[in-house]
Amino acid sequence: MNQNPKILVVEDNPLNMKLINVILNSEGVEVLEAETAEEGIEICQTDQPDLVLMDIQLPGMDGLEATRIIKNNKQLNHMPVVALTAHAMEGDEEKAYEVGFDGYITKPIDTDTFMESVRSYLEPGTK
């Protein structure tokens, strides 16, 4: 894992954002925050994070569409994008992988295993 990886968290729920921030900061991760998919895409272009944690249910454009845009952009498609979702409906996980997500983490966040999951996406070849 990079010394201080940069992780973009695209999450519209302030409590989830705060929890994720606390966990990642305690591990020395630089956290970039976006509340909308559009803002997330913009941050991907300007800051080139090492990993994107993308909520699927977002106001306006959803996380599926945002990930499709990121994965279809030659400058951005190398970034791993992991779905963060509480709405695990039948077929959601398949949909997420179809649009290009590299992984899937369900909410509520399990504080014991969350960092382990995140690390696995930051270290190439460990998934």
Say if 1 falls within a structural domain.
no
* 59 occurs within a structural domain: yes
Tell me what pLDDT residue 87 has. 64
Q: Check residue 88 and give its pLDDT.
A: 62
Q: pTM to 2 decimals?
A: 0.92
Distance CA 29, CA 13 (A): 20
Cα end-to-end span (Å), the chain: 13
Kindly report, residue by residue over 4-42, the tens digit of the pLDDT.
899 999 999 999 999 999 999 999 999 999 999 999 999
Q: Is residue 117 part of a domain?
A: yes
What are the b/e assignments for 3-31, b being 16+ CB within 10 Å? eebebbbbbbbeebbebbbebbeeeebeb
Residue 72 lies in a domain: yes
- Residues 86, 73: Cα–Cα separation, whole Å: 27
Residue 32's CATH number:
3.40.50.2300
In this prediction, residue 125 carries a pLDDT of: 52
Residue 38 structural domain:
6-122
- Asked if the structure places residue 108 within a domain, the reply is yes
Q: DSSP character for 1?
A: -
Q: With 50 as the cut, is the pLDDT of residue 126 above it? A: no
- Report, as an integer, the average pLDDT of 72-94: 87
Number of domains in the chain: 1
Q: What pLDDT score was predicted for residue 127?
A: 44
Kindly state whether residue 127 falls inside one of the protein's structural domains: no
**Number of other CB atoms surrounding residue 101 within 10 Å:** 25
Q: Over range 103-124, report the average pLDDT.
A: 89
Give residue 92's pLDDT.
Answer: 79
